[in-house]
Chain A
Amino acid sequence: DGGITQSPKYLFRKEGQNVTLSCEQNLNHDAMYWYRQDPGQGLRLIYYSQIVNDFQKGDIAEGYSVSREKKESFPLTVTSAQKNPTAFYLCASSITWRGIQYFGAGTRLSVL
């Protein structure tokens, strides 16, 4: 089955620690995205990548980093510089940068 897999489903971060959220897709999509979802708010774009080895900052990139070394993978690292990381994180992909975005099941990140 084609789709987007996010792992882990739940993640806990200790203060000062970097954590990495995984996102893998087997849809052969060129574009991938990371969103943050907080209660009562719409999704906010963290980073996006239109093609392998290229990515751009979204609206709330501070405290986050990404890489896009393979077409199917777009991991997100939440660094210690992100002071309020508790949120639900969604990864998405689209066939091109203008296509319909399809989503993974999300990762819930909490701070210990």
Chain B
Amino acid sequence: AQTVTQSQPEMSVQEAETVTLSCTYDTSENNYYLFWYKQPPSRQMILVIRQEAYKQQNATENRFSVNFQKAAKSFSLKISDSQLGDTAMYFCAFMKHVPAEGSNYQLIWGAGTKLIIKP
């Protein structure tokens, strides 16, 4: 079974600090996608960053970057210069191939990390 594990249920940091959220996954596939989504108190799910497994370079989006370790099956999210608006649930997700359904892919989600940015 393919799973996604987020080992930190909750974290809190001071504004302007850097924080790293961890995610590990389990798969036998070689080509896949990994995602970090953010769900603020409004509960709207927002894409933060995406990583393609065949790319060795870590993805970066402004203050958000990932540390993708394919051999270790680790996909952590680093938030630099954290802001109050970063307070949210953060979900790691893995896109798996579903061969029984033909060419189809499904997202498998971790349980989330609640991140609180303190002023």
The contact size tier of chain B is 20 to 34
Q: Taking the complex as formed, is B44 at the interface, i.e. its CB lies under 8 A from any CB of chain A?
A: yes
- Interface membership of chain B positions 8-33, coded 1 if the CB is closer than 8 angstroms to chain A and 0 otherwise: 01000000000000000000000000
- The count of A-to-B residue pairs whose CB atoms sit within 8 angstroms is 50
A 93-112 contacts with B by CB, 8 A: 97-98, 100-106
Asked if B106 contacts A105 (CB within 8 A), the reply is: no
B94-110: CB near A (< 8 Å → 1, else 0) gives 01000001011111111
Question: How many interface residues does chain A have, given as a range?
Answer: 20 to 34
Contact of A103 among B44, B103, B108, B109 (CB under 8 A): B44
Task: Report the minimal beta-carbon distance from B30 to chain A, rounded to whole angstroms.
Answer: 16
Stretch at the interface among A36-44, A63-71, A75-83: A36-44
Q: How far does the alpha carbon of A108 sit from the alpha carbon of B106 in the complex, in Å?
A: 23
Distance between A31 CB and nearest chain B CB, rounded to angstroms: 9
**Contact present for B107 and A105 (CB under 8 Å):** no
Contact call A58/B106, Cβ cutoff below 8 A: yes
Q: Which of B4, B50, B111 contacts A100 (CB 8 A)?
A: B50
Determine whether B42 belongs to the interface, using a CB cutoff of 8 Å to chain A: yes
User: What 1/0 flags go to A24-41 for Cβ under 8 Å of B?
Assistant: 000000000000000011
- CB pair B111–A41 under 8 Å, yes or no, is yes
**Is B84 an interface position by the 8 A CB rule?**
no
Which A residues touch B45, using CB under 8 A?
Answer: 43, 90, 92, 103, 106
Min CB gap B11→A, angstroms: 16
A48 on interface, CB distance cutoff 8 Å? yes
Is the pair B111, A40 in contact by a Cβ cutoff of 8 Å? yes
What residues of chain A lie closer than 8 Å to B44, measured between beta carbons? Answer: 103-106
**Chain A residues close to B by CB (< 8 Å):** 40-45, 48, 50, 56, 58, 88, 90, 92, 97-98, 100-106
List residues of chain B with CB under 8 Å of any chain A CB: 4, 9, 35, 42-47, 50, 91, 93, 95, 101, 103-112
